[in-house]
Amino acid sequence: MTYMPSFPPQSVFSIPDADFVPRALEIFRFQYDQNPLYREYVQTLGVRPESVGRMDEIPFLPVSFFKTQEVRTGEFIPDIVFESSGTTGMVTSRHLVKDLGLYRRSFRGGFEHFYGPVGDWCIGLLPAYLERSHSSLVYMVNDLIGASGHPDSGFYLDSHEALYGLLLRLEAAGQPVMLFGVTFALLDLAERYTLSLKHTVVMETGGMKGRRREITREELHSFLRERLGVKAVHAEYGMTELLSQAYSAGGGLFRCPGWMKVLVRSEDDPLEVRARGEGLINVVDLANVWSCSFLATEDIGVVCEDGGFTVAGRVDHSDVRGCSLLVAS
State mean pLDDT over 179-191.
91
Distance, CA of 55 to CA of 25 (rounded, Å) = 7
How many residues are there in the chain? 329
| C-alpha closest to that of 81 among 240, 207, 260, 292 | 240
Q: What percent of the chain has pLDDT over 90?
A: 75
In this structure, which amino acid lies at residue 127?
P
With 90 as the cut, is the pLDDT of residue 89 above it?
Answer: no
| Residue 329 banded pLDDT, cuts 50, 70, 90 | very low
Strand partners, 273: 265
| C-alpha closest to that of 237 among 215, 222, 219, 252 | 252
CA distances from 148 to 112, 210, 257 (A): 11, 32, 20
Q: Specify the DSSP class assigned to residue 281.
A: E
Instruction: Please tell me the total count of domains within the chain.
Output: 1
Q: Which residues contact 63 (CB under 8 A, 6 or more apart)?
A: 93, 239, 241, 295, 296, 297, 298
DSSP states along 115-141: H--GGG-EEEEE-S----TT-HHHHHH
Q: Which residues contact 41 (CB under 8 A, 6 or more apart)?
A: 59, 61, 65
Give the dihedral of Cα atoms 309, 273, 240, 302; nearest 10 deg.
20
Can you give the pLDDT at residue 239? Answer: 93
Instruction: Residue 316: give its domain's CATH number.
Output: 3.40.50.12780
With 90 as the cut, is the pLDDT of residue 40 above it?
Answer: yes
* Cα-only R_g, the chain: 20
Alpha helices in the chain (DSSP H): 20-34, 36-44, 100-115, 136-148, 160-173, 183-192, 217-228
What is the value of pTM for the model shown? 0.91
| C-alpha closest to that of 278 among 296, 303, 297 | 303
Q: Specify the DSSP class assigned to residue 173.
A: H
With 90 as the cut, is the pLDDT of residue 180 above it?
Answer: yes
Can you give the pLDDT at residue 90? Answer: 73
Tens-digit pLDDT profile for residues 274-319:
999 999 999 999 999 999 999 999 999 999 999 999 998 888 655 5
β-pairing, 260-265 vs 277-285, is antiparallel
The residue segments making up the domain with residue 113 are 1-329
With 50 as the cut, is the pLDDT of residue 102 above it?
Answer: yes
Q: Which residues contact 166 (CB under 8 A, 6 or more apart)?
A: 124, 152, 156
Q: What percent of the chain has pLDDT over 70?
A: 89
Distance, CA of 141 to CA of 16 (rounded, Å) = 28
